[in-house]
Amino acid sequence: MKTIISILTRYVPRRYLQVVSHFILRIISVFYLGNKKQCTVCDRKFRKFLPYGRIIKRKNALCPNCLSLERHRLMWLFLKTKTDFFTAELKVLHVAPEYCFIKRFKALNKLDYITGDIESPLADVKMDIRDIPFEDNTFDVAICNHTLEHVEEDLQSMKEFYRVLKPGGWAILNSPINEERDVTYEDFSITDPAEREKHFGQRDHVREYGLDYTDRLAAAGFSVNTQDIIKDLSPEEVERYALLHYGKITAEELIYLVNKG
């Protein structure tokens, strides 16, 4: 199973995986039923989650029912416990929408919820985040997970999120961070997918963010407030919900919350 998932995630375009993978995994999920792990997103319980990862295969990463990963289960907890996302009337832009969230967010009657992506068949609007096709000050909330590392003009994209947010609006702009780098590493002359995987960790990444990621967000105009919600949970909850990517708290477990003043 680890090998199959690794091959699929490395070589099959995301737009195709999103369409068919949930049907296959729901069949497989029958063999994982139990009570040791619980998904915060779909609330289903399993004896374990599926492994996931392109190069490093993480144990207990992927919920076989809703396809949530560690970062999705963390974000759900953050939205549920630290924001009014589930109760307030909000206009929301969700870029590169994850399968585990779409139907659940659309079911929230108070949300005016719009999804966008440059290629995903799951999105409402085809859009490039370097030129978001909405007026200034349109949205109360924006969500964009693990997308900016794919875009050469990331600062332009961050500025676009800032532009379309209303004053006082907020966004979650999460990206993978290499804590061993103080400064983000990017080299746009590297275009071969295998070389990009070697340099940036994934075949379709154009950079590897370092600890200066928050500085880049601030350069777009945002005030940045990283959120560590794991500190509010018991070790038993962290283990049950399988929230840690690599068995310890890293930058991957932080929520990058930004605000437009």
The domain limits of the chain are: 2-68, 71-259
pLDDT for the residue numbered 22: 60
pLDDT of 101 reads: 97
Contact 196, 206 (CB under 8 A): yes
pLDDT of 150 reads: 96
Residue 32 confidence (pLDDT): 78
What are the angstrom distances between the C-alpha of 204 and each of 152, 178, 190, 192, 212? 11, 17, 11, 9, 21
pLDDT at residue 249, as a whole number: 83
Residue 174: in which H helix or E strand, if any? Answer: strand 165-174
* Confidence at residue 146, expressed as pLDDT on a 0 to 100 scale: 95
Give the number of other CB atoms < 10 A from CB of residue 200.
22
Q: For each of the chain's 261 residues, which pLDDT tens digit applies?
A: 555 555 555 555 555 555 556 656 666 766 778 999 999 999 999 999 999 887 668 899 999 999 999 999 999 999 999 999 999 999 999 999 999 999 999 999 999 999 999 988 889 999 999 999 999 999 999 999 999 999 999 999 999 999 999 999 999 999 999 999 999 999 999 999 999 999 999 999 999 999 999 999 999 999 999 999 999 999 999 999 999 988 888 888 999 999 998
Pairing status of strand 139-145 against strand 165-174: parallel
Q: Tell me, what's the pLDDT at 251?
A: 87
pTM, whole model, 2 decimals? 0.88
Architecture of domain 71-259: 3-Layer(aba) Sandwich (3.40)
